[in-house]
Amino acid sequence: MLDPRRLSLLRDVAATGTIAAAAERAGCTAAAASQQLAALERDLGAALLERSARSVRLTTAGRVLADHAGRLLSSLADAERAVRDVAGLRGGTIQVAAFATAGISFVIPALTVFRNRHPDIELRFAELESAEALPEVRAGTIDLAVTHEYTPLSRPDLRGLDQRPLYREPMLLAVPSGLAPAGTAHADLADFAATPWVAALTSTGFQAATEMACRTAGFEPQVDIRVHSYPMLLAMVGAGFGVGLVPQLAAVAQHGVSYLPIARPTGLTRQIYATTRRTDQSPAARALAHYLYDALTLTTPK
């Protein structure tokens, strides 16, 4: 591998015509510069300079290398500037993913702040559920993913990943407004043991979370309706087809739906994380994680 410092000396000899002048540009002595140029010749096994008592001139091989050296050193300088721009949040690309409820409630506001403060960084976004996003982060396709886990369910494979906790949100019971118990602002899940339930598809982790919460309350839920998204779950609840559990961030205003905190603790919560690769401490990802946390403090109940 050619040493860029030696290439720079050769380029400067070609430009100035003397080793002394090239040494002055490099901030070293003429003797040191001469030694470095001799080492470059040994590395290549070719004579690069024709030396005499009063002058030095480049050989044909020296002129060819000096010409390439200019382009190589220019490319190295461009690469260094690009890296410094990324480190200083003045360039580069960040690829972000988030699940829908997080995206709508706080990720989009955080991305807006990021875009306004760092307009030179290219921002790319994909809506992905956590099970899809984690392998993408591990593979390097996504730089930062907003992911979630339901506790106390088993944790996913997090090898090679770092997670910064952003928010732990409680679960609420969504009920048709006509079923909301009079005179109380809380719900005991056992009171809804005989009520039809609306729950997630069995392919999603949330179905297991719903079953676990109901079993903790002493019954098996009667799941008549299975859906893919929280908006559909809430639409079904609002239409009177049953009750369902939703995380706090998904509990948006919906006609015909009331939200009740769970009176008897089930231990079920949803923990939200900013997930990144352990080996990539991206300045842009660190900055975005900070903006995500700030956005959450503005959008979640105190």
Task: Write 206-212 long-range contacts (CB < 8 A, 24+).
Answer: 206/150, 206/245, 208/150, 208/153, 209/150, 209/153, 209/171, 209/245, 209/268, 210/244, 210/245, 212/152, 212/153, 212/266, 212/268
Q: What's the predicted TM-score (pTM) here?
A: 0.69
Q: Which are the contacts of 38, defined by CB distance < 8 A and separation ≥ 6? A: none
Segment 76-104 mean pLDDT: 74
Domains of the chain plus CATH, in order, are 4-87 (1.10.10.10), 93-167+270-299 (3.40.190.10), 169-268 (3.40.190.10)
Q: Dihedral sign, CA of 204, 209, 210, 212?
A: positive
Residue 135 — pLDDT band, cuts 50, 70, 90?
very high
- pLDDT confidence of residue 283: 85
- Tens digits of per-residue pLDDT, 94-112? 999 999 999 999 999 999 9
Residue 45 — pLDDT band, cuts 50, 70, 90?
confident
Segment 217-226 mean pLDDT: 90
**For the CA atoms of the chain, what is the radius of gyration?**
31
pLDDT reading at 297 higher than 60:
yes
More confident site: 116 or 64: 116
- Tens digits of per-residue pLDDT, 201-221? 765 567 778 888 888 888 999
- Rounded to the nearest angstrom, the gap between the alpha carbon of residue 147 and the centroid of all alpha carbons in its chain is 10
